[in-house]
């Protein structure tokens, strides 16, 4: 059994093609698809003592060790965890050259059980440059029965030298109906809305459907939907103490909202905040297109600096004032 139903076909394909696999695979796709789980399932299949078709038995020693993450022939490299283990922190923390050196030495040693030696690096784009360079040597000198599995949300952030030496496997967004069924089974009340906000990634949709998260989005929308009643400075002061994680989420919602307004303004469709399509359409008509473009650019800049804003309250004030300005000109007409 796969953990997520949208993994079934890709896992079967990987399993059927296992004899022809490159010694280095690069599994990539959007965040929120469960790529790490897919990597674990594939590794389990390769190590399982008693597979049936493309299904691992789940009860042999190898299966149990992999589930407990202590199989002696499988080594996971993930960003160093510190006391601060929030998503925002993990997203910014790197995989060091020391970790890659330890991992490369691991691959050199003989297998405990005469099978594969497998190294998994996740998320691979978190390797700093020195770490990626150290990994290149391992990529260039493949060892028998060794498999390097790089898992990445953003392969564009990996050096081309690393990408070009791997067999790339892209994990597509799942079929919407399949994803919505799965979300419904997890107790998500409005799967289509959550899935739209998550750009089609089911695990991200599940996170966004948590009541406290959805409430935060509704609070933001309450302000965005009525710009003439918004007090940018008061709101900025109120939001200035957000955690880095909440700030990233808040910024994403605002970027999506501006994307929706732009799309509607130029005759396209709403993509993210689909539960607000009527109000969005009315606001889009009133929006000043060049000012809206500028705001989108400003939000992109904010995103690039999002993990280290110099002064969050100032950034918020600027963004919210710019948002209100989108609707100013037409109001005066």
> Under the rule (CB under 5 A), what is the footprint of Zn ion?
48, 56-57, 60, 63
Identify which of residues 61 and 81 has a Cβ nearer to Zn ion in the complex.
61
Question: What CA–CA distance (Å, rounded) separates 82 from 8?
Answer: 34
Identify which of residues 43 and 208 has a Cβ nearer to Zn ion in the complex.
43
What does the chain come to in residues?
A: 333
Question: Please, which residues have CB within 8 angstroms of residue 160's CB and are 6 or more apart in sequence?
Answer: none
Smallest gap from residue 115 Cβ to Zn ion (A) = 12
Give the DSSP letter string of 235-250.
Answer: HHHHHTT--HHHHHHH
Check: CB of residue 319 under 8 Å from CB of residue 305.
no
Smallest gap from residue 39 Cβ to Zn ion (A) = 17
Identify which of residues 63 and 230 has a Cβ nearer to Zn ion in the complex.
63
Backbone angles phi, psi at 93, to 5 degrees: -90, 145
Question: What CA–CA distance (Å, rounded) separates 268 from 263?
Answer: 5
Smallest gap from residue 47 Cβ to Zn ion (A) = 8
Smallest gap from residue 57 Cβ to Zn ion (A) = 3
Alpha helices in the chain (DSSP H): 8-16, 35-47, 61-67, 87-92, 97-108, 129-140, 160-163, 176-185, 191-197, 202-208, 211-224, 232-239, 244-265, 277-286, 289-304, 312-325, 328-332
Identify which of residues 41 and 180 has a Cβ nearer to Zn ion in the complex.
41
Residue 220 CB neighbours (<10 A): 18
Smallest gap from residue 49 Cβ to Zn ion (A) = 5
Identify which of residues 48 and 264 has a Cβ nearer to Zn ion in the complex.
48
Residue 255 CB neighbours (<10 A): 17
Smallest gap from residue 4 Cβ to Zn ion (A) = 19
Smallest gap from residue 114 Cβ to Zn ion (A) = 15
Residue 93 CB neighbours (<10 A): 16
Question: What CA–CA distance (Å, rounded) separates 154 from 136?
Answer: 18
Identify which of residues 61 and 172 has a Cβ nearer to Zn ion in the complex.
61
Residue 232 CB neighbours (<10 A): 19
Smallest gap from residue 20 Cβ to Zn ion (A) = 23
Identify which of residues 117 and 217 has a Cβ nearer to Zn ion in the complex.
117
Smallest gap from residue 100 Cβ to Zn ion (A) = 29
Identify which of residues 43 and 258 has a Cβ nearer to Zn ion in the complex.
43
Q: Is the peptide bond before 45 cis (omega within 30 degrees of 0)?
A: no
- DSSP assigned state of 127: B
Identify which of residues 50 and 331 has a Cβ nearer to Zn ion in the complex.
50
């Amino acid at each position: 059994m796969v953990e997520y139903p949208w993994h079934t076909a890709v896992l079967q394909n990987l399993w059927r093609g296992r004899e022809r696999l490159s010694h280095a695979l690069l599994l990539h796709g959007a965040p929120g698809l469960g790529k790490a789980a897919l990597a674990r399932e594939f590794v389990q299949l390769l190590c399982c003592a008693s597979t049936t078709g493309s299904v691992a038995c789940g009860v042999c020693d190898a299966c149990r060790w992999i589930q407990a993450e202590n199989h002696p022939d499988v080594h996971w490299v993930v960003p160093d965890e510190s006391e601060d283990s929030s998503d925002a922190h993990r997203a910014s923390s790197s995989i060091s050259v020391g970790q890659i050196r330890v991992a490369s030495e691991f691959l050199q040693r003989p297998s405990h059980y005469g099978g594969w030696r497998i190294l998994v690096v996740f998320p691979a784009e978190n390797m700093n440059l020195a770490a990626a360079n150290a990994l290149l040597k391992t990529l260039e000198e493949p060892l028998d029965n060794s498999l390097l599995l790089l898992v990445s949300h953003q392969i564009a952030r990996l050096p081309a030298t690393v990408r070009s030496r791997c067999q790339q496997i892209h994990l597509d967004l799942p079929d919407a109906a399949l994803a919505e069924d799965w979300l419904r089974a997890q107790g998500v009340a409005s799967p289509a809305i959550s899935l739209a906000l998550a750009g089609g990634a089911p695990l991200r949709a599940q996170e966004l459907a948590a009541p406290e998260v959805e409430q935060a989005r509704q609070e933001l929308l309450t302000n965005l939907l009525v710009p003439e009643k918004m007090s940018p400075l008061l709101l900025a002061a109120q939001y200035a103490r957000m955690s880095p994680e909440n700030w990233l989420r808040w910024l994403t919602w605002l970027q999506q909202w501006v994307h929706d307004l732009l799309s509607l303004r130029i005759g396209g469709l709403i993509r993210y905040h689909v539960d607000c399509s009527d109000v969005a359409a009315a606001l889009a008509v009133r929006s000043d297109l060049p000012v809206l473009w500028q705001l989108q650019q400003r939000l992109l800049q904010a995103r690039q600096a999002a993990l280290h804003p110099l002064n969050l309250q100032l950034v918020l004030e600027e963004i919210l004032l710019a948002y209100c300005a989108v609707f100013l000109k037409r109001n005066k007409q």
